[in-house]
C-alpha cells in the first residue's frame, strides 16, 4: 500500500510550522508497539494495582522533603506533590530530576529513574513583555509540562528573543497577544508563534518559576541536547503514560537511546518540535514493523493527533533501521 493516500492528516508541512524553533513535551507512550497502539483510552488502574514505588520530592526554591507514591501519569504526579506540600496542582510549572536548578536537560518527561529525586518548580513572578518580530524565527525552544503549561526551554543566541532580556529559560507562556494558551500543546504553540506576522510587535504574558535567593543567577539560554544524555537515571525507570497504566521498565538500551535521539532530531528538523517521549513512542511503535507503510499505519493508530509528513515517516523508519544495525 503506498504511503500517501491513506494518511489521515497531510496539512502539516515543514513550512507551516516554526522553522528553527523547537518545542518539546511530555507525550508518553507504551513500552512496546502493542501497548503503545492498544493502550489508548484505558482508564487509570486502581490504586492497589499501581506500581508500589516511593519517590522523594522537594519544592525547587526550598522546602522539607516529601514522599509521594501511587501516581500513574504526570497530572497525578503533580497532584501528589501538591498534596505533600499543601499547594494547588496548577501552581506547579514543571519538575526537574536530581537538581533544584532550572536545568532544561533534567526535565521530568515520561520516565523517572527509580532512584531519582524530584524537584517541583512552582509559579513565581508574572510579567508581560512586548516583542518586535523582526525575523520569521524567534529563536525559542518551547516544551510543555504534560499538564497544560507551555514554557521556554532554550533561547538561541543572537535571536530575536535573545535581545529581550526579560524573557528567560523556564518562563511559562500564559498568553500570546491576549489569548490564553494554557492547555495548548507544544506543537500548537509553535504554529501560533510561526503565524505571527513579521515586522510587527506582539505581547507575551509570562510566569517565571519561583527562585530561592541563592538560585538567582545570570540569565541562561539553556543547553543544547547532548548526544550522551540519558533518558532516565537509576537502575530502572517508571514509565508514565498519558493513556494507560504506568509500568516499571529497564534502563533504555543503547539502541533505544540512539534511536530516540535521532528521531527527536528529525522532529525538530521537520516539525519544529522536540519531544523525547514522543520520539520514544515512535521508536517503540516501529521496533517490530517490517516496512514503512506498516509503520506509518501504526503511527496513525497510536498517535492520531499528530499530522506527520510522509517524508518524515520515511526518515524515522530509516533512523530506526540504522539504530538496529548500529550505524550511528
Beta strands in 86-227 (DSSP E): 92-97, 111-113, 117-132, 140-144, 150-155, 172-176, 179-180, 201-209
Percent composition of the chain: helix, strand, coil (DSSP 3-state, to 5): 30, 25, 45
Cβ proximity of 146 and 26 under 8 Å: yes
Give the mean model confidence (pLDDT) for residues 30-39: 38
Q: Which pLDDT belongs to residue 255?
A: 78
Q: Which residue has the higher pLDDT, 15 or 60?
A: 60
Per-residue confidence (pLDDT) for residue 310, from 0 to 100: 86
pLDDT in tens, 267-294: 877 766 777 778 888 888 888 888 988 9
CB 181 within 8 A of CB 142: no
pLDDT tens digit sequence for 212-227: 754 545 455 555 544 4
- Can you spell out the DSSP letters for 204-242? EEEEEEP--GGG--S-----PPPTT--S--SSEEEEP-S
Mean pLDDT across the chain, nearest whole number? 78
For the residues 252-267, what does the mean pLDDT come to? 82
* Full-model pTM: 0.68
In sequence order, which ranges of 221-309 are alpha helices (DSSP H)? 254-271, 276-286, 292-302
- C-alpha grid cell, residue 326: 548500529
Residue scoring higher pLDDT (110 or 138): 138
- List the beta bridge partners of residue 111: 239
Question: Which cell numbers in the block locate residue 291?
Answer: 516496512
What is the pLDDT averaged over residues 5-33? Answer: 40
Residues 209 and 93: beta-carbon distance below 8 Å: yes
The alpha carbon of 151 is separated from its chain's Cα centroid by a whole number of angstroms, namely: 10
Of 89-103, 155-169, 245-259, 293-307, minimum mean pLDDT range: 245-259
- Max Cα–Cα distance, the chain, nearest Å: 60
Distances (CA, A) of 238 to 100, 104, 207: 20, 20, 29
Q: Which helix (H) or strand (E) holds 85?
A: helix 74-85
**% of the chain exceeding 90 in pLDDT:** 37
Most confident by average pLDDT, 224-233, 239-248, 279-288: 279-288
Amino acid at each position: 500500500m503506498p504511503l500517501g493516500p491513506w494518511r489521515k492528516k497531510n496539512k502539516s508541512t515543514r513550512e507551516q510550522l516554526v522553522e528553527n524553533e523547537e518545542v518539546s513535551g511530555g507525550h508518553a507512550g507504551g513500552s512496546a508497539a502493542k501497548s503503545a497502539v492498544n493502550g489508548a483510552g484505558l482508564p487509570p488502574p486502581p490504586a492497589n494495582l499501581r506500581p508500589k514505588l516511593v519517590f522523594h520530592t522537594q519544592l525547587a526554591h526550598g522546602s522539607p522533603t516529601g514522599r509521594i507514591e501511587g501516581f500513574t501519569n504526570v497530572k497525578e504526579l503533580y497532584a501528589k506533590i501538591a498534596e505533600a506540600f499543601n499547594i494547588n496542582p496548577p501552581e506547579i510549572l514543571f519538575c526537574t530530576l536530581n537538581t533544584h536548578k532550572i536545568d532544561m536537560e533534567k526535565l521530568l518527561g515520561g520516565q523517572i529513574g527509580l532512584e531519582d529525586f524530584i524537584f517541583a518548580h512552582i509559579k513565581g513572578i508574572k510579567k508581560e513583555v512586548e516583542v518586535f518580530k523582526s525575523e520569521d524565527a524567534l529563536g525559542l525552544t518551547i516544551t510543555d509540562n504534560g499538564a497544560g503549561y507551555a514554557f521556554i526551554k532554550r533561547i538561541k543566541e543572537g535571536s530575536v528573543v535573545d535581545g529581550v532580556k526579560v524573557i528567560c529559560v523556564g518562563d511559562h507562556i500564559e498568553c500570546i497577544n491576549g489569548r490564553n494558551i494554557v492547555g495548548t500543546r507544544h506543537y500548537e504553540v509553535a504554529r501560533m508563534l510561526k503565524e505571527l506576522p513579521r515586522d510587527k510587535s506582539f505581547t507575551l504574558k509570562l510566569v517565571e518559576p519561583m527562585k530561592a535567593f541563592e538560585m538567582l543567577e545570570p540569565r541562561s539560554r539553556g543547553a543544547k541536547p547532548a548526544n550522551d544524555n540519558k533518558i532516565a537515571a537509576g537502575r530502572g525507570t517508571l514509565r508514565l503514560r498519558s493513556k494507560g497504566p504506568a509500568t516499571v521498565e529497564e534502563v533504555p538500551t543503547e539502541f533505544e537511546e540512539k534511536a530516540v535521539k535521532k528521531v527527536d532530531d528529525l522532529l525538530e528538523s521537520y516539525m519544529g518540535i522536540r519531544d523525547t517521549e514522543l520520539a520514544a513512542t515512535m521508536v517503540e511503535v516501529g521496533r517490530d514493523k517490517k516496512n514503512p507503510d506498516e509503520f506509518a499505519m501504526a503511527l496513525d493508530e497510536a498517535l492520531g493527533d499528530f499530522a506527520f509528513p510522509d517524508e518524515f515517516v520515511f526518515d524515522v523508519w530509516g533512523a530506526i533501521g540504522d539504530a538496529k544495525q548500529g550505524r550511528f
